[in-house]
Structure 1
Amino acid sequence: MPRWFRVAALASVAFVLVVLGAALRPLVLPDEHTAAPVLSAVEIGFAQDMTAHHQQALIMVQRLDRGVDPTVLRLAQQLSDAQRIEIGTMLGWLRLADASPLSSHPMAWMHADVAVSQHHPSASPSNSEAMPGMATIAELDALAAARGRDAEILFLQLMLRHHQGGLVMARAVDELLPSGAVKETARSMFQSQSQEAGVISMLLTQLGGQAPQ
């Protein structure tokens, strides 16, 4: 048998073995490569909690007396419109990640080593259930019952505290995430809510109301 023929035959056999080995590999060895998650645990937790946080802002707007000053009413509607858009964005993220819109452990994503307590008194990391800036049921009931000037002042006080809490959350997730859409959106929220908090504070001062403690 010619030498070149033997070499060709051996090469063919080697090629068949390589192909066969590649084909059988998934059956013998588990595939260690898995698809990267759409969102990290921190991103999912932030989206869930900020959605719940925004939803309470919508409740505040709904409970505001429709007979208040048009300036306050117009501000309330603008806040509602902006937060509805952001809720839609965050719920879209959670659908893509196949995650629940509600968190079973609110604020667990905000690690204890994030020094957020210095930014807002109610944002203590020792209690993961405490979502910063949220109104109590009693405060929401009081808002629903308030009328005229009293409604304006209470609404602005609750919304200012609410925005301050949202700023704590947005700042925290920005510090925790290296990059990505959630980080960029959190930064955008921080900027817009800072501006809104300034307007709310100005209106509250004009009405003679006290800033929330």
Structure 2
Amino acid sequence: MPRGARIAAFASVALLLLAIGAALRPLALPEKHTAAPVLDIVEIGFAQDMTAHHQQALLMTQRLDPDAGPTVRRVAEQLADTQRIEIGTMLGWLRLADASPLSSRPMTWMTNTTAAHQHSTYPSDAPMLGTASTSELDALATARGREAEILFLQLMIRHHQGGITMAMAADRQLDGGPVKETARSMVQSQGQEVGVMSLLLTQLGGELLPQ
């Protein structure tokens, strides 16, 4: 065989061996790939805590006097519908992330992002922002008429204000994605609801509770 033909044959065999080696490499030397997490720590913490936060809002709507005025009742029903939908969305995220629906360390995802080193700014022993105490929930369950309407609006406005603070914290810390978009939507929608409830509270002669 001429020298040039032998070189061409060797080159062809070399290329064939390289191709076979590339094809077999994943079998012989499996590459390790680390799947990106579905949700990060902030997203999981926000979804867990906001779910719990929403669940108390549902409890408050359930404890409102059934004979309360139609306007306040309608507001309560609309709030409950919105909160149920958002709870379903957040629980769906947590299932996809294989995360618990409840946090073992509530509110620790809220960090001071303006500091040189991030650290939790929420006291570990403090109640969740805006939530009602057991005694306040009991008082709502027994209140009737105008008293019930005023107390419901007071508790729900404070509750929403706490939720807005949580949603704003998530928005600040997240770069993008559906959780950030939902947090921003909550800031807007709950802000509008606070405005409506504040107007109703004023008309009833009630005052805002301290935050």
**TM-score in same-fold range (> 0.5):** yes
Displacement after TM superposition at 1:137 (Å) = 1.4
Instruction: Describe the shift of the 1:86–1:114 C-alpha distance in structure 2 as closer, same or farther (beyond 3 A).
Output: farther
- Figure out how many residues of one structure are paired with residues of the other and give that number: 206
1:129-151 C-alpha deviation (Å, 9 max, x unpaired): 53211111111111111111111
CA RMSD, aligned part only? 2.2
Q: Which segment is superposed worse, 102-111 or 22-31?
A: 22-31
Match of 2:199 among 197, 202, 208: 202
Match of 1:171 among 168, 171, 180: 168
Q: Distance in 2 between matches of 1:137 and 1:31?
A: 54
* Consecutive unaligned residues in structure 1, runs of 5 or more: 116-123
Displacement after TM superposition at 1:23 (Å) = 4.4
Displacement after TM superposition at 1:184 (Å) = 1.0
Match of 1:126 among 119, 123, 126: 123
Q: Distance in 1 between matches of 2:150 and 2:114?
A: 32
1:68-147 mapped onto 2 (5 Å cutoff): 68-113=68-113, 125-127=122-124, 130-147=127-144
Quote the sequence identity (%): 69
Which residue matches 2:182? Answer: 185
TM-score (norm 2): 0.88
1:27-74 C-alpha deviation (Å, 9 max, x unpaired): 665624322222111111111111111111000001111011111101
Q: Distance in 1 between matches of 2:30 and 2:39?
A: 25
1:72-124 C-alpha deviation (Å, 9 max, x unpaired): 10100010011111111111211222222111111111114469xxxxxxxx6
1:161 matched to 2:158? The reply is yes
Q: Distance in 2 between matches of 1:29 and 1:108?
A: 41
Q: Distance in 1 between matches of 2:66 and 2:48?
A: 30
SS in 2 for 1:34: coil
* Consecutive unaligned residues in structure 2, runs of 5 or more: 116-120
1:19-98 mapped onto 2 (5 Å cutoff): 19-26=19-26, 29=29, 31-98=31-98
Q: Which segment is superposed worse, 24-33 or 156-165?
A: 24-33
Aligned residue identity for 1:126: P
Q: Distance in 2 between matches of 1:152 and 1:180?
A: 38
Displacement after TM superposition at 1:15 (Å) = 2.7
Q: Which segment is superposed worse, 26-35 or 72-81?
A: 26-35
Q: Which segment is superposed worse, 71-80 or 134-143?
A: 134-143
TM-score (norm 1): 0.88
Instruction: Describe the shift of the 1:188–1:165 C-alpha distance in structure 2 as closer, same or farther (beyond 3 A).
Output: same
